[in-house]
Amino acid sequence: MIDRLLEQARRHADGGADALWRRVERTSVAFEWGRLKSAGVTEETGVNLRVRHGGRVGVAGTTAADASLADLVARALASAALGEAVDLPFPPRAPLPPVPTYFDRAGEASLDHLIQMGRGLLDRLAREGCRVNVALERETAETRVANSAGAAGSYRSTVIAVSADVWRIAGDDVLVLGDAFDGADLPSDAALHAIAASINTRLDRALTVVAPPEGALPVVCTPAGLAALLLPVTQALSGKAVLQGISPLAGKVGQGGVFDAAFSLSDDATCVGRPASRPIDDECVPSRVTRLVERGVVQRFIYDLETAARAKAQSTGHGQRGIFGKPVPGYTNVVLGPTPDGVGARHAVPLQLGGGLLANIRDGLLVDELIGVGQGNVIGGAFSHPVALAYRVDRGEITGRVKDAAVAGNVYELWKRVGGFGNDARWTGSRYAPSVLLEGVSVARR
């Protein structure tokens, strides 16, 4: 279909075209309060066409099974008539890296097998006075992209997501703890055990409530707790933010002193076993590792074809598109520090073994989750968030969970003084990071 679509587009669009076709099948299982609530399968197939005509870009998409290719081309051309003018070059054919994206065990897992997996996780998390939710989703997909310059690529992929959360309600104290596994293959029994162990260990430490500390203090953020500190940086490293004039990192490529020398960040679309990995992006650009920050020095920003054209740069292979709308730059697998080792679910657990980052903290916090991450003017770097889950650290030991506390600071200032990295690096969604010790974080009681 995609070849016939491009052939029609070539005859009518004087500046070329590209297209994406994708079929996705999702199998979902959900347990609520320990009981099976839903289980089912959904499927969606669609195509997205982008054309350049008269110097302007237009897009059209459809999920209709009997879609007319001529109608799709006509709608894309009509969109171009009203679209923005941009000199958008479509990349030529290029070699693609070998990236495993489809795993038979995941693709062939039955609905009954997923239900059984969920029940096993429920059994591991069962605890008196607590309610447990478990969700599993398996996705299989086929993707094909091609353009009028001769570039093309196709791949099959699998995605498995398993999440669990435990609720404990005691009077006015509502405690919620969760963890998850995200991968391209089925989780091993050890990975499922790690989810349960992570939740249970953190729950045990959270049953004792202590008063929060106050002042400018050392704070250790677990891999999950780093969201508020990494989100502004990844937003600022987007070429789209640079073009919009809102990135604090614009114009700082190659400059020293922007981040601590221990800070390195990359995006790797070729990681084996990750849901976002792929051999080619949604605009026919081959995948690769993109070094964003190395040893504290900003190296580059991420671009799709359009933002790269406007910035007079080259696409970094970060074009992402859905069935409707034009492509946008988007991350795949963000990595803080060295190459991932595939470690599964774990949060605060390793920090308590042999001291680690907590050993020399006389008074501080271990932050596992914050409230309100992603709200407000995130890219500016200033943040102030109440804690959803945090523990007080006293003389190197966790003494209990703190409530009614908030942390605040400026991301770009804190990343200039990293106190150390933990040995507990793990994947949290599409982000791979260890725990991080940051000095001088403002901690206040609410």
* DSSP of 48-104: EEEEEETTEEEEEEE--TT--HHHHHHHHHHHHHHS-B---PPPBP----------H
pLDDT over 90 for what percent of the chain?
A: 90
User: Encoding tokens for residue 91?
Assistant: 């990349």
Q: How much is the pLDDT for 244?
A: 96
Q: What is the mean pLDDT of each run of 10 residues along the chain (446 residues)?
A: 93 96 98 96 97 97 92 97 94 97 96 96 95 97 97 98 96 93 94 93 94 96 94 97 96 94 96 95 98 96 97 97 96 88 58 69 95 86 94 93 95 95 89 93 92
Q: Which domains does the chain have, with CATH numbers?
A: 2-205 (3.30.2290.10), 208-446 (no CATH)
Q: How much is the pLDDT for 353?
A: 46
Is 203:168 a contact under the CB 8 Å cutoff?
Answer: yes
The secondary element (H helix, E strand) that includes residue 193 is helix 189-206
Q: How much is the pLDDT for 339?
A: 67
User: Encoding tokens for residue 163?
Assistant: 């999440």
Q: How much is the pLDDT for 375?
A: 78
Strands (E), 295-416: 297-298, 319-320, 328-329, 334-336, 363-370, 382-394, 397-402, 405-410
Is 279:287 a contact under the CB 8 Å cutoff?
Answer: yes
User: Encoding tokens for residue 147?
Assistant: 């353009």
Strands 418-421 and 35-53 come out as unpaired
The CA distances from residue 166 to 137, 202, 300, 392, in Å, are: 19, 11, 41, 21
| Residues contacting residue 128 through CB under 8 Å, at least 6 positions apart | none
d(CA 285, CA 320): 11
Is 300:238 a contact under the CB 8 Å cutoff?
Answer: no
Q: Kindly tell me the burial class for residue 123, based on how many C-beta atoms sit within 10 Å of its own C-beta (0-12, 13-18, 19 or more).
A: exposed
User: Encoding tokens for residue 70?
Assistant: 């001529």
Q: Look at the pTM and tell me if it is higher than 0.85.
A: yes
Number of Cβ atoms within 10 Å of the Cβ of 302:
25
The CA distances from residue 425 to 159, 225, 345, 369, 403, in Å, are: 21, 12, 10, 16, 26
d(CA 318, CA 178): 30
Q: How much is the pLDDT for 66?
A: 86
Q: How much is the pLDDT for 337?
A: 87
